[in-house]
């Protein structure tokens, strides 16, 4: 039993909550619906939907799980919107979808994994978008595909699509308008028959692999000091699952060699700069015993310093007191008597 609900042209900004739960065909075209989170929750309640028409609305992005729980949906029309981005799991859960219409949007890039869950998809309309290339998988079992009205770049990026089209047994509608826009040499030629130089693609592929390898090496260098792999090589993600980390490869060995070379070079430069300073410091320090001449010289210097002190005289001018006099060096040949200059020799002689 088919239950139809038509809410077209009512200037709706959101999908109404008052829709019948058992509706099978729902038309919401020509409104102002953006397919926000509330709209997605409303759609999830209508599990009996087989046809859904959202064309001529204001949808700009198709987020992941936008149509989940619609396991019976067979026809989905989202044409004439402003879609620029289609997330990888946007059509997850649409196991029975057979016809998908994305005509007249602003899609610039489309990953082939977007259609992985669409196991029985037979009609795909991508007409009048901004696609320059499309990497399609051979597992597609389409009967009809529409690719006209896109600015296709007939270079190496389109080679996979061209190979798929050569083995495609179905119908490519409006093939005469499915033409190359770039490069100028292939302009206005059908993308199925355009000549693409595979030799150039091989060179570009090798250069791309080299670029990816060098980029990966730079990332490993920048994160080497922060990344530590556990023995089990497993970490726990945000969703509780355990993701396997890659094992150490040649890039880590190369990184270790580079770090060792830089450290050793830095150490050699530091040693070369500091060696002259250390050498001069060691040479400036010399230890030797004092010789006898040095002792005599020390005595003479000490005597000269003592003579520099001033002499103090008492108030009695007749008996001056001499504080310091020249110090004589000790002579072993002396008789051991000490002459006391403070003894009045004249008085002694007179008494005697």
> Could you report the per-residue pLDDT of 95-139, keeping only the tens digit for each?
999 999 999 999 999 988 899 889 899 999 999 999 999 988 767
Phi then psi for 44, rounded to 5 degrees? -65, -20
Tell me if 100 sits within 8 A of 118, measured CB to CB.
yes
DSSP codes joined into one string, 31-84 = S-----HHHHHHHHT-TT-SEEE--SS---EE-TTTTTT-TT--EEE--SS---
Query: For residue 112, how many C-alpha atoms fall within 13 Å in the half-sphere facing its CB?
Result: 11
Burial of 232 (0-12, 13-18, 19+ CB in 10 A): exposed
Query: Closest by alpha carbon to 158, among 124, 197, 184, 129?
Result: 197
Mean pLDDT is lowest, of 168-172, 203-207, 250-254, for 203-207
**Average pLDDT of span 80-105:** 96
**Average pLDDT of span 56-71:** 95
Q: What percent of the chain is modeled with pLDDT above 70?
A: 63
The tokens for 279 are 């050498």
CA distance 206 to 199: 11
The tokens for 60 are 């700009």
DSSP codes joined into one string, 218-247 = HHHHHHTTT----TT-EEE-TTS-EEEPPP
For strands 61-62 and 85-86, give the pairing.
parallel
pLDDT of residue 267: 84
Distance (Å) of CA 134 to CA 70, 75, 164, 182, 305: 27, 23, 11, 15, 103
Query: Closest by alpha carbon to 130, among 100, 156, 110, 101?
Result: 110
Domain 1-200, CATH homologous superfamily name and number: Ribonuclease Inhibitor (3.80.10.10)
Domain ranges of the chain: 1-200
Name the region of 104 (left: φ>0; alpha: ψ -120 to 50; beta: rest). Answer: left
Tell me if 125 sits within 8 A of 104, measured CB to CB.
no
pLDDT of residue 273: 76
CA distance 230 to 248: 11
Mean pLDDT is lowest, of 47-56, 106-115, 166-175, 229-238, for 229-238
Tell me if 89 sits within 8 A of 111, measured CB to CB.
no
Give just the sign of the alpha carbon dihedral 321, 323, 327, 333. Answer: positive
pTM beyond 0.85: the answer is no
pLDDT of residue 41: 94
Name the region of 17 (left: φ>0; alpha: ψ -120 to 50; beta: rest). Answer: alpha
Q: Which residue in the block uniquely carries the two structure tokens 């005697």?
A: 352
CA distance 26 to 16: 12
Give just the sign of the alpha carbon dihedral 85, 89, 94, 97. Answer: positive
What contacts 181, CB < 8 A, 6 or more positions away?
Answer: 132, 151, 152, 153, 187
**At residue 27, does pLDDT exceed 90?**
yes
**At residue 42, does pLDDT exceed 60?**
yes
> Could you report the per-residue pLDDT of 190-239, keeping only the tens digit for each?
999 999 877 767 655 555 555 555 555 565 555 554 444 444 444 444 44
**At residue 68, does pLDDT exceed 60?**
yes
The tokens for 316 are 């009695």
Task: Work out the number of other CB atoms within 10 angstroms of the CB of residue 164.
Answer: 19
């Amino acid at each position: 039993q088919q239950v139809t609900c038509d809410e077209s042209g009512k200037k709706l900004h959101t999908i109404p909550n008052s829709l019948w739960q058992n509706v099978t065909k729902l038309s919401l075209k020509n409104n102002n619906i953006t397919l926000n989170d509330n709209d997605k929750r409303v759609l999830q309640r209508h599990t009996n939907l087989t046809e859904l028409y959202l064309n001529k609305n204001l949808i700009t992005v198709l987020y992941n799980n936008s149509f989940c729980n619609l396991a019976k949906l067979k026809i989905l029309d989202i044409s004439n919107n402003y879609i620029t981005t289609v997330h990888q799991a946007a059509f997850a859960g649409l196991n029975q979808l057979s016809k998908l219409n994305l005509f007249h949007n602003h899609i610039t890039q489309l990953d082939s994994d977007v259609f992985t869950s669409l196991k029985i998809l037979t009609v795909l309309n991508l007409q009048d978008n901004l696609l320059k290339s499309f990497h399609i998988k051979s597992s597609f079992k389409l009967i009809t595909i529409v690719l006209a009205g896109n600015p296709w770049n007939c270079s190496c990026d389109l080679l996979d699509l061209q190979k798929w089209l050569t083995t495609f047994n179905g119908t490519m509608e409006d093939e005469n308008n499915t033409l190359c826009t770039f490069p100028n040499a292939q302009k206005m030629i059908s993308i199925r028959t355009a000549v693409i130089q595979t030799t150039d693609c091989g060179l570009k592929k090798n250069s791309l692999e080299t670029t990816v390898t060098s980029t990966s090496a730079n990332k490993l260098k920048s994160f080497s000091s922060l990344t530590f792999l556990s023995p089990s090589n497993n970490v726990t993600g945000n969703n509780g699952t355990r993701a396997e980390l890659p094992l150490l490869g040649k890039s880590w060995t190369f990184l270790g060699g580079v770090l060792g070379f830089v450290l050793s070079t830095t150490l050699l430069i530091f040693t070369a700069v500091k060696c002259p300073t250390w050498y001069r410091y060691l040479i400036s320090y010399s230890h030797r015993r004092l010789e006898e001449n040095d002792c005599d010289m020390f005595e003479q210097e000490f005597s000269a310093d003592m003579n520099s002190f001033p002499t103090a005289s008492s108030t009695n001018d007749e008996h001056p007191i001499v504080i310091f006099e020249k110090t004589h060096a000790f002579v072993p040949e002396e008789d051991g008597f000490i002459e006391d200059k403070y003894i009045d020799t004249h008085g002694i002689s007179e008494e005697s």
